[in-house]
Amino acid sequence: MIIDLHTHTWPYSDDSDLKPRELIERAKSFSLDGICFTEHDWHWKEEDIAKLCGEYDFPIFQGMEISSEEGHLLVFGLTEYKFGMHHAHFIRQLVDEVGGVIIMAHPYRARVRYNTDPAQLLDSICYNRIFDLVDAIEVMNGRSKDNENKFALDIGYRLNLRGVGGSDAHAPSEIPTFATEFEREIGSVEELIAELKAGRFRAVDLR
C-alpha cells in the first residue's frame, strides 16, 4: 500500500496552493493508495476527514507537521496543537501518552542547502538529541534537492533510523514525487501508527 505521508492543503496550511479535493483527485489519478493531511501546526477534525474519505472512497489519514525549535516533526496520534509544542521533548511526551509516532521531516534541509562541507555537517548534527526523540526520518522529500535527500539518507544509515517518503506537496504539480510503501493494508490512523512502529515500510520514488 503506497501512501504519501506528507502533504499540505489550503487554507489550513496558509503557504499551500493545493485544495483538499484537488489533492485527493490528483493522488487517485496517479494510483496512490492513500494520503496524509499534515498541516502546519493544525489538525483536521475526524468528521471532516471521514466525510472526504466516504465521498471519494479513498483513505485519508490526519497528522500534523509541527514546527519545533529542533526541527519540523510529522506527528501522528495527536489530535490538537497545544502550547509548548515548540519543544520536541514536550511533543515526545504527548505522543508517548497516546501511543503515537514522530517522524523528522526533511532533516536539516536548510543547513545542507547552504553548507559547503556536508560530511562535516553530518558528523556534527548526528550528535543532536533530536534523533533520540523520533521514530523515523523523512529520507525522500519532494521539495528537497537530491543532495538534501541524500543527506537525510546518510543520517538514517549513520543512526540506524528507518526512512519514509513524502511529497511535502503545496501545489498540484508537486504530487506525486515520493511516498511510503507499506507491507500491509492500512485503514486507520491507528493502523498507520502500528505499521510505522513495526518498521514494515520503505520510502519509494514515484517520479
CA–CA gap between residue 91 and residue 49 (Å, rounded): 23
Kindly list the distances between the CA atom of residue 3 and the CA atoms of 54, 77, 92, 159, 200, in Å, as whole numbers in the listed order.
17, 17, 24, 24, 13
pLDDT digits (tens, 9 = 90+) for 142-188: 999 999 999 999 999 999 999 999 999 999 999 999 999 999 999 99
pTM (2 d.p.) = 0.97
pLDDT digits (tens, 9 = 90+) for 92-134: 999 999 999 999 999 999 999 988 898 899 999 999 999 999 9
Q: Tell which CATH architecture fits domain 2-205.
A: Alpha-Beta Barrel (3.20)
